[in-house]
Amino acid sequence: MSHETDKQNEIYELVREMRREGCRMTRRDVLRLGAFAGISLAGIASLVEACAPAGGNQSSGVGSSGGKKSGPQPTKIAGGENALLTYWGAWGGTALQPEKQSIEKWNKDHPDMQVKALQIADIDQKFLVAVAGRRPPDIIKLDRFMLPGYALSGAIKDLTDRINADKIDVKQWFSACMNETKLNGKYYGLPWNTDDRGLWYNNEILSKAGVKEPPKTTDEILRMGKEFTQKKGKRLTRIGFDGYGGNWQIGWHWAWGGEWLKDNNRKANWNNEIGESWLSWLQENRKYLGGPSTIDAFGKTFQGESQGPYWTGQIVMVMDGSWVAGDWKKYAQKVDMGVADAPRPQDMVDKGPITWSGGFAFCIPEGIDDKKADAAWEFIKYYCMDADPVLAMATQAGNMPAIEKLARDDRYLSANKFNKKFVDLMPHSRFRDLTPVGNELWFDIIWPMPNDVFYGKKTVKQALADSEAKANKVLDRGWKEAERG
């Protein structure tokens, strides 16, 4: 089954569920919903059929008792059933307790603005369907690079007037974080957290070999990667350098001085000399490791987080994210690890460090009344700007604060010896170019593009040309749909 068919079926079932529950969803709503999800016109035609009124029980919202359920149901982590506000997007894992504690504190201090927090599976699809069905949550946490699509599809409110009325200084956030919420001069969310990426290296292995500092250029790391790679016959036993970790494959284009998009983010910009240079270089990295089958076989020998390949020395150097610091603290504090800037070509080193970041923002959905929108705004300011909830997430769950002052707070910096390095990289951070079709562009086209080269399906030039042509079609469709309003 294709990725498009998966998305189509998921949204189809959600639309049908909303119709069974009596929600008003027009043909236009579903057309925009399908276009945002990256479904072709033929696929959208099937979704439109779901707008036909359906029989069955009518009830109070998504996941209620009427009709067939679509996937896992919401999990409440805080708040009562009669809370004024419903927040979608609460996290589990190490984030569960700090989120729960911060929300419970808010509820105790604000009896007239109680918040019920829910974990929601498949939140992207369910949110758009809920908005189109006129039954949105009051607060939602969203991946920032997706905000333009939500904004242009009419799913989230413009917060600019609220920011200005409260005289909020947008410069207190790292620029990459705040700019990722901005479209056409308007802000659609407040940044909540962030991350970035650097070169992780096993300093014990490098030191034993007489290497005093990690490589600074791409030529150096390619050479050192070969030297530190070990094999028994054709079988890999150690990777000297993995250039494909931490979603850094998109970082190389920036490291080489490239821009992924041009013409106000309406056209792809990687089928060029820069794209050919870094992708050929990355192909060389994969080749000396033995190719995809050898690398995949080696990956199957990894023993999980507590005995991960970085800690055991199976991977000596790798581009990976700030979140790895949490795993190091939990499992491998005795291992002498280090973090350095991403290597760049020799002629780009003097341009300074490069990294890229992502993260989440809190938004107010369209379709809620003014009273709830005002209350939601008060909660969002607390959750994204108050030191207590922000630093609770930072120190307990390892989430870097998006506000620079809080990221440089000693409570966060002292929580992990690597935090300062990643905070220092943030002023140099890039973020994924903003478009109405971010999910499809980055996850379906750009991310997998290098694999066509590594697995021998295409040459470097073919992969660049084909993916750019596909991206331009997607971008053209997305922007045209956005402009139709």
The pLDDT profile of the chain, 485 residues, written as one tens digit per residue, is: 455 555 555 555 555 555 455 555 555 555 555 555 555 444 544 444 444 443 333 223 343 333 344 456 789 989 999 999 999 999 999 999 999 999 999 999 999 999 999 999 888 888 888 888 888 999 999 999 999 989 988 899 999 999 999 999 999 999 999 999 999 999 999 999 999 999 999 999 999 999 999 999 999 999 999 999 999 998 999 999 999 877 898 999 999 999 999 999 999 999 999 999 999 999 999 999 999 999 999 999 998 888 899 999 999 999 999 999 999 999 999 999 999 999 999 999 999 999 999 999 999 999 999 999 999 999 999 999 999 999 999 999 999 999 999 999 999 999 999 999 999 999 999 999 999 999 899 999 999 999 999 999 999 999 999 999 999 999 999 999 888 76
List of E strands, 398-439: 400-401, 429-430
Backbone torsions φ then ψ of 6, nearest 5 degrees: -60, -50
Distance, CA of 389 to CA of 200 (rounded, Å): 29
Pairing of strands 190-191, 360-363: antiparallel
177: left (phi > 0), else alpha (psi -120 to 50), else beta? alpha
How long is the chain?
485
Nearest to 431 by CA among 147, 176, 175, 146: 176
Nearest to 13 by CA among 49, 58, 55: 49
What CATH topology corresponds to 197-356+435-484?
A: D-Maltodextrin-Binding Protein; domain 2 (3.40.190)
Distance, CA of 201 to CA of 243 (rounded, Å): 12
Is domain 72-194+358-416 in CATH 3.30.930.10, yes or no?
no
Distance, CA of 370 to CA of 372 (rounded, Å): 5
pLDDT score for 354: 98
Evaluate whether 361 touches 191 at the Cβ level (below 8 Å).
Answer: yes
Distance, CA of 99 to CA of 389 (rounded, Å): 8
Q: What would the DSSP string read from start to end of 116-177?
A: EEEE-TTHHHHHHHHHHTT---SEEEEEGGGHHHHHHTT-B---HHHHHHTT--GGGB-HHH
Evaluate whether 407 touches 400 at the Cβ level (below 8 Å).
Answer: yes
How many alpha carbons lie under 13 Å from residue 123 in its C-beta half-sphere?
18
Distance, CA of 458 to CA of 450 (rounded, Å): 9
Evaluate whether 294 touches 286 at the Cβ level (below 8 Å).
Answer: no
pLDDT score for 59: 29
Nearest to 224 by CA among 237, 202, 212, 240: 240
Residues 6+ apart with CB under 8 A from 30: 15, 44, 47, 48, 50, 51, 132
Evaluate whether 305 touches 327 at the Cβ level (below 8 Å).
Answer: yes
Q: Let me know if the fold of 72-194+358-416 is the same as that of 197-356+435-484.
A: yes
Tell me the whole-structure pTM to 2 decimals.
0.88
Distance, CA of 398 to CA of 383 (rounded, Å): 16
β-bridge mates for residue 403, sequence order: 173
DSSP assignment letter at 79: S
pLDDT score for 482: 84
Taking each helix axis from N to C end, the angle separating 370-385 and 96-109, rounded to the nearest 10 degrees, works out to: 130
β-bridge mates for residue 338, sequence order: 201
Tokens of 20: 């069974």
Tokens of 115: 């918040």
CA torsion, points 420, 213, 256, 347, in degrees to nearest 10? 120
Distance, CA of 358 to CA of 181 (rounded, Å): 11
Distance, CA of 356 to CA of 197 (rounded, Å): 6
DSSP assignment letter at 212: -
DSSP assignment letter at 217: B
Please give the distance of CA 81 from its chain centroid, rounded to a whole number. 30
Token look-up 């190091």 returns 328
* Cβ neighbour number for residue 443 with a 10 Å cutoff: 12
Distance, CA of 177 to CA of 192 (rounded, Å): 9
Domain residue limits, the chain: 1-71, 72-194+358-416, 197-356+435-484
Evaluate whether 436 touches 474 at the Cβ level (below 8 Å).
Answer: no
